């Protein structure tokens, strides 16, 4: 018969583990409840520093314009124009970009 193993912890160490577990459960619940409208921290900082939302999301996902072009079926030159603010991007293209990035169209539209 297998013997049950036990460990002994100081109360403070046990309490710290319980708190950490609760924090992790909260983080997982928040992640699972994400509707795609949250912007990753690094992408938000890039946008605040003048990078277009599309470029910020693309870089967050470690993609080149060519990669994004292949995933969306949109010409890299057109994506470049969107990123540089020369074109606003059609609803159809923004929808495809949002799908690739796992976000909403609203997160990709620049607000002046």
CATH number at residue 92: 1.10.260.40
* Count of domains observed in the chain: 1
Question: What local confidence, expressed as pLDDT, does residue 46 receive?
Answer: 86
Determine, yes or no, domain membership for 34.
no
Total count of residues recorded for the chain: 112
Rounded to a whole number of angstroms, the distance between the first and last alpha carbons of the chain is: 70
Q: Confirm if 47 and 87 have CB atoms less than 8 A apart.
A: no
- At 9-39, the pLDDT tens digits run 999 999 999 999 999 998 888 777 666 666 7
- At 55-89, the pLDDT tens digits run 999 999 999 999 999 999 999 999 999 999 899 89
CA separation for the pair 76, 83 (Å, rounded): 10
Determine, yes or no, domain membership for 91.
yes
CA separation for the pair 47, 57 (Å, rounded): 9
Determine, yes or no, domain membership for 35.
no
Determine, yes or no, domain membership for 75.
yes
Question: What local confidence, expressed as pLDDT, does residue 34 receive?
Answer: 62
Give the ranges where the chain is alpha helix by DSSP (H): 11-33, 41-48, 53-60, 65-72, 76-83, 91-101, 105-108
Q: What does the radius of gyration of the chain's CA atoms come to, in whole angstroms? A: 21
Question: What local confidence, expressed as pLDDT, does residue 100 receive?
Answer: 94
pTM (global) more than 0.95: no
Structure tokens, 4: 């049950």
Determine, yes or no, domain membership for 54.
yes
pLDDT at 96 over 90: yes
Range(s) of the domain holding residue 64: 41-108
């Amino acid at each position: 018969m297998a013997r049950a193993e036990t460990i002994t912890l100081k109360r403070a160490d046990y309490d710290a583990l319980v708190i950490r577990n609760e924090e992790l459960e909260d983080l997982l619940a928040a992640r699972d409840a994400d509707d795609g409208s949250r912007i990753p921290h690094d992408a938000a900082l890039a946008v605040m520093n003048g990078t277009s939302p599309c470029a910020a999301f693309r870089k967050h996902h470690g993609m080149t314009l060519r990669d994004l072009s292949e995933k969306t079926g949109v010409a890299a030159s057109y994506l470049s124009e969107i990123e540089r603010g020369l074109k606003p991007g059609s609803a159809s293209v923004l929808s495809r970009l949002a799908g690739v990035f796992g976000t909403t169209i609203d997160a990709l539209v620049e607000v002046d």
